[in-house]
């Protein structure tokens, strides 16, 4: 039975991918001055099976292109730098984050079956139940199964993490470093981000937590049950969740405040003081996920001279932040 299921899954995925030569699944990310985070985020989601990444670099003080140049040459990443303009609150649609996602959808959605709209501190994580059921860390397979059900978008609920006591940037990456999380019972955990089927995708939505879909398009969770965006009725973490490392270490949060927000709502220490006391839960599953990911030996630094440049940047930033 297991062999038959594995064969059916392989056949389904091969058939889905064959129809999309530019990649079955792609992710858009709008980021600024996240040179030290971007490759890790891309490498991890590549490990999950994402085919293509669109990096919308919002006015970084030093463009992030050198960090991903080898991936651009390989065709894995397409990079775009844009300056944008200040947001006139309260309209999210007037923000640079909205513009970045809007442009990504307009330029690239037709090339893929699925397009996700995530940030560089958000990680798709398959939960123990899904792994035990044989899904593996395989995002395209999950989406291919949902496509058969004519799903409009997959909604992934946030798991928000506090600092876990870190003052400075830890060495192991976010998945291996943070375990203090906001419990599923808290309303913050009902926020979602979406991965949309491009046949139903019209544009970025009115908040960072939704997309504008064609009338009648369904929004479901990873088990195919009806869900909603920008929030769901309850946290749905059973099969797949979106781990959001919104604070990280105290030093990294200070840097986050310094670079501002593409959405125009700059996080301050008041936000830190709001989130940190809420992170009373313990979420350790990502430690095992991190170990499996790192066992695949991902390339977390650019090769050759670019790698030397990246290492110098790493040391320089570490010295400045500590």
C-alpha to C-alpha distance for 106 and 92, rounded to whole angstroms: 18
pLDDT band at 56 (very low <50, low <70, confident <90, very high): very high
Q: Name the residue with tokens 């730098």.
A: 81
pLDDT band at 134 (very low <50, low <70, confident <90, very high): confident
pLDDT at 261 over 70: no
C-alpha to C-alpha distance for 38 and 285, rounded to whole angstroms: 22
- Mean pLDDT lowest for which of 19-23, 206-210, 317-321? 317-321
Give me 82's structure tokens. 């844009």
Q: Name the residue with tokens 């769901």.
A: 232
Partnered with residue 158 across adjacent β-strands are 242
- Mean pLDDT lowest for which of 161-175, 194-208, 265-279? 265-279
Strand 153-160 to strand 114-118: parallel, antiparallel, or no bridges (unpaired)? unpaired
pLDDT band at 305 (very low <50, low <70, confident <90, very high): low
Residue 88 carries which DSSP code? -
pLDDT at 3 over 90: no
- Report CA torsion sign: 236, 237, 243, 248: positive
Domain region containing 130: 2-321
Mean pLDDT, range 115-120, rounded to an integer: 97
User: What is the enclosing helix (H) or strand (E) of 213?
Assistant: strand 211-213
DSSP-assigned letters across all residues of 144-192: HHHHHTT-SEEEEEEEEB--TT-SS--SS-HHHH--EE--TTSGGGGBE
Q: Name the residue with tokens 């990096």.
A: 55
Number of domains in the chain: 1
The distance from CA 276 to its chain's CA centroid, rounded to whole angstroms, is: 21
C-alpha to C-alpha distance for 23 and 178, rounded to whole angstroms: 32
Mean pLDDT of the chain: 91
Angle 268-53-196 from CA coordinates, rounded to 5°: 80
pLDDT band at 133 (very low <50, low <70, confident <90, very high): confident
Quote the pLDDT of residue 264. Answer: 58
Quote the pLDDT of residue 25. Answer: 98
- Asked if 159 and 237 count as a contact pair (C-beta separation under 8 A), the reply is yes
| Exposure of 155 in the CB half-sphere (CA atoms within 13 A) | 28
4 exposure class (CB count in 10 Å sphere: 0-12, 13-18, 19+): exposed
The verdict on pTM exceeding 0.75 is: yes
192-249 pLDDT, tens digit each: 999 999 999 999 999 999 999 999 999 999 999 999 999 999 999 999 999 999 999 9
DSSP-assigned letters across all residues of 299-321: --S-SHHHHHHHHHHHHHHHHHH
- Report CA torsion sign: 157, 96, 29, 288: negative
Strand 114-118 to strand 122-126: parallel, antiparallel, or no bridges (unpaired)? unpaired
Quote the pLDDT of residue 90. Answer: 77
Quote the pLDDT of residue 73. Answer: 96
C-alpha to C-alpha distance for 33 and 258, rounded to whole angstroms: 10
- Mean pLDDT lowest for which of 51-55, 67-71, 317-321? 317-321
Quote the pLDDT of residue 313. Answer: 44
Instruction: Say whether 24 sits in a helix, a strand or coil.
Output: coil
Which ranges in 220-303 belong to alpha helices (H)?
A: 250-259, 269-278, 285-295
pLDDT band at 6 (very low <50, low <70, confident <90, very high): confident
pLDDT at 107 over 90: yes
Quote the pLDDT of residue 66. Answer: 95
pLDDT at 285 over 80: yes
């Amino acid at each position: 039975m297991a062999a038959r299921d594995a064969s059916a899954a392989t056949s389904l995925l091969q058939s889905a991918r064959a129809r999309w030569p530019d990649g079955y699944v792609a992710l858009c990310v709008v980021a600024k001055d996240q040179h030290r985070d971007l490759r890790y985020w891309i490498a991890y989601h590549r490990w999950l099976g994402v085919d293509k990444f669109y990096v919308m670099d919002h006015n970084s003080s030093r463009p992030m292109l050198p960090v991903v140049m080898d991936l651009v040459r390989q065709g894995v990443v397409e990079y775009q730098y844009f300056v944008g303009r200040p947001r006139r609150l309260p309209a999210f649609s007037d923000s640079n984050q909205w513009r970045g996602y809007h442009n990504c959808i307009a330029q690239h959605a037709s090339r893929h079956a699925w397009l996700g709209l995530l940030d560089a501190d958000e990680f798709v994580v398959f939960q123990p139940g899904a792994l035990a059921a044989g899904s593996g860390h395989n995002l395209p397979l999950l989406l291919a199964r949902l496509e058969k059900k004519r799903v409009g978008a997959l909604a992934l609920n946030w798991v928000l993490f506090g600092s876990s006591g870190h003052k400075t940037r830890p060495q192991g990456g976010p998945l291996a470093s943070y375990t203090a999380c906001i419990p599923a019972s808290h309303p913050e955990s009902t926020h979602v981000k979406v991965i949309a089927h491009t046949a139903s995708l019209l544009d970025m939505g009115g908040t960072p937590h939704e997309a504008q879909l064609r009338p009648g398009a369904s929004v479901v969770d990873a088990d195919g049950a009806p869900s909603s965006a920008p929030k769901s009725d309850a946290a749905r973490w059973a099969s797949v969740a979106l781990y959001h490392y919104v604070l990280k270490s105290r030093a990294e949060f200070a840097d986050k405040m310094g670079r501002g927000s593409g959405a125009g709502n700059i996080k301050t220490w008041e936000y830190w003081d709001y989130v940190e006391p809420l992170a009373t839960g313990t979420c350790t599953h990502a430690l095992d996920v991190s170990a499996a990911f790192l066992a695949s030996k991902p390339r977390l630094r650019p090769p050759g001279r670019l790698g030397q440049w990246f290492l110098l940047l790493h040391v320089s930033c570490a010295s400045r932040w500590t």
